[in-house]
A and B are shown apart, each in its own frame.
Chain A
């Protein structure tokens, strides 16, 4: 099949998610003369037709709006996310991701913490992992800018972080669960704070305030939740960035150690060659590794060191009624009392404790065992509207055997299949157990009469990180500090796969900040 050769552009970005969107906006802002194009395999999310305004909204969480692409494929519907199957059998955590304009921010919980300064220096401070090639304070102005564009509801003054720029909106309301949990953390003398949420607590930037409907993971009809299709992309396209949807990048063409452009296919399978001076890959931990491996980019570290953030949670049961599935699921309060290393605990690095909210009734019912008969219905009676969950995220550290690799099977999108291999380390298990014990203490202090551990929690694999890591040594890293592939320097990476280590906090804020920083540097180079 012959490929149509298109007019060249200066920069082609692959992937319109968190990293790709921030990169596109920043490079065009700094270098208006550059022709910038983004290729996105999926389509635009349709906020008017998301499931939360219909009676099948609970079913959507399990089927066509499931967070896991394999479950969405099984349900047979796409709704804007152009999914491909992922062989996840050998991974403790199942990948959760969205492949369309906005990337996984379309279906995320919008919890928006930064990493700590120590997270950039784990080798120096704690003798584990690797130091990043830059530090928190190098990234700080880009964190601030990313916060400004995304719109953050929160509260300044948190002693868990260096002082931050003024939060654009006050924190989201707490609800009964957070009020009760906050008192319990305080009774124990432990740190807690309202989360930084990329959710409007008041009308902001042309978007409405959150009305606390609950199921953030099936999209946000009022557009209160920031997703980059609503934040970065309108600004980027207004500057002149072109965004081409239903465009599946199949290969980065490389000649004599330089990328010449990208071969992509449209929705009919017709192939095009898009010449470009620089190729930016922003498909996150799975998509980026898959495309770079399929394109023959050589690096011993490519695809390796996959990190998720091992996750587990404890559910506390209360006699008194609580809120149930009301309010943003991932955004109320958190604690970093145990985030930094204390070797007396028996492991390096720490854990993030995050108050969550109840699942929808059908989701709870579908996860009971036994699934049918009197017992599960009696259990639901006891638990529904009486549960407080606390999520524990542990720091993952890079391990080469945890990886994304290609399979021999070609997929319908014209790329090789992709497989995950991931096991949890003994250190990660210790971290999780420690965090779960602390969560149980909080829940008991809050008045729980019983606690239930769910450890590990397999369907928590949103954070797909580390598979094209930054560093100085081409033997142990894929890119340099500017995101340039060591072997093909005009291919850059701009997403979570760059992370040499991942801290124990959600990565989206850092992904956006890093993408802005790298884009500004490339703009300088191309001007």
Chain B
């Protein structure tokens, strides 16, 4: 497949949104995964000059396992991308070593706990 058609395929699978979620073709790791993929789905699309979402739906119906595998191979680098994580309101840094800040228990809940503790036992 030509680079432009690989880009079209990436964008149909991961179209992004108007609020800043990038299209699949704008994530280099997605395009690398797609270019390096030996998926038979690429072969099925390869002879076409153009294709649209409805064409992919038909191929998905006829080759569900292979299609899912291709989609998963693109979803993984896409949602690992710092650009995508940040566009979704998350951060690009991994969980460690920074960890996260998290709110303490609301002070008002201490009174609730005291009230619960005064309940008759609920175990048998």
Give the interface of A toward B (CB within 8 A): 52-59, 62, 116-118, 125, 155, 157-162, 171, 173-176, 178-179, 182-183, 186, 191-194, 210-215, 221-222, 321, 323-324, 326-327, 336-337, 339-341, 361-362, 365-366, 371-374, 377-378, 380-381, 384-385
- 19 pairs, CB–CB < 8 Å, chain A vs chain B: A53-B94, A58-B79, A62-B76, A116-B124, A117-B123, A155-B113, A159-B117, A173-B105, A191-B119, A193-B116, A211-B97, A212-B101, A221-B97, A323-B102, A324-B89, A361-B79, A365-B75, A366-B72, A371-B68
Cβ of A373 and Cβ of B13 under 8 Å apart? Answer: yes
Cβ of A160 and Cβ of B104 under 8 Å apart? Answer: no
Minimum C-beta distance from A99 to chain B (A): 24
Given A159-B121, A377-B16; A59-B96 close (CB under 8 Å): no
Which residues on the B side are within 8 Å of A53 (C-beta)?
A: 94-97
Beyond contacts A174-B104, A339-B123, A340-B124: 5 other A-B pairs, Cβ-Cβ < 8 A, are A58-B80, A171-B105, A212-B99, A362-B80, A373-B12
Closest 4 CB pairs of A and B: A211-B99, A213-B95, A362-B79, A118-B124
Minimum C-beta distance from A386 to chain B (A): 10
Task: Please name the residue on chain A nearest to B21 by beta carbon.
Answer: A377
Q: Say yes or no for B66: interface residue by CB 8 A criterion.
A: no
Cβ of B123 and Cβ of A59 under 8 Å apart? Answer: no
Most A CB contacts (10 A, CB to CB) among B84, B92, B101, B120 go to: B101
Q: Say yes or no for B35: interface residue by CB 8 A criterion.
A: no
A381 to B18, CA, bound (A): 11
Of the candidates A182, A362, A377, the one whose C-beta lies within 8 Å of that of B76 is A362
Q: Say yes or no for B109: interface residue by CB 8 A criterion.
A: yes
Cβ of B116 and Cβ of A214 under 8 Å apart? Answer: no
Cβ of B14 and Cβ of A162 under 8 Å apart? Answer: no
Give the interface of B toward A (CB within 8 A): 12-17, 19, 21, 53, 56, 68, 71-72, 75-76, 79-80, 82, 84-85, 88-90, 92, 94-106, 109, 112-113, 115-124
Cβ of B90 and Cβ of A385 under 8 Å apart? Answer: yes
Cβ of B100 and Cβ of A326 under 8 Å apart? Answer: yes
Minimum C-beta distance from B83 to chain A (A): 12
Given A171-B105, A381-B17; A222-B96 close (CB under 8 Å): yes
Cβ of B75 and Cβ of A371 under 8 Å apart? Answer: yes
A365 to B14, CA, bound (A): 11
Most A CB contacts (10 A, CB to CB) among B53, B90, B118, B122 go to: B122
Of the candidates A192, A194, A361, the one whose C-beta lies within 8 Å of that of B85 is A361
Cβ of B80 and Cβ of A214 under 8 Å apart? Answer: no
Given A361-B79, A365-B79; A215-B124 close (CB under 8 Å): no
Task: Please name the residue on chain B nearest to A163 by beta carbon.
Answer: B121
Task: Please name the residue on chain B nearest to A321 by beta carbon.
Answer: B89
Given A159-B122, A337-B122; A183-B17 close (CB under 8 Å): no
Most B CB contacts (10 A, CB to CB) among A179, A321, A341 go to: A179
Cβ of A158 and Cβ of B95 under 8 Å apart? Answer: no
Task: Please name the residue on chain B nearest to A211 by beta carbon.
Answer: B99
Task: Please name the residue on chain B nearest to A54 by beta carbon.
Answer: B94
Which residues on the B side are within 8 Å of A193 (C-beta)?
A: 113, 116
Task: Please name the residue on chain A nearest to B97 by beta carbon.
Answer: A53
Which residues on the B side are within 8 Å of A57 (C-beta)?
A: 94-95
A321 to B90, CA, bound (A): 12
Cβ of B80 and Cβ of A380 under 8 Å apart? Answer: no
Minimum C-beta distance from A21 to chain B (A): 25
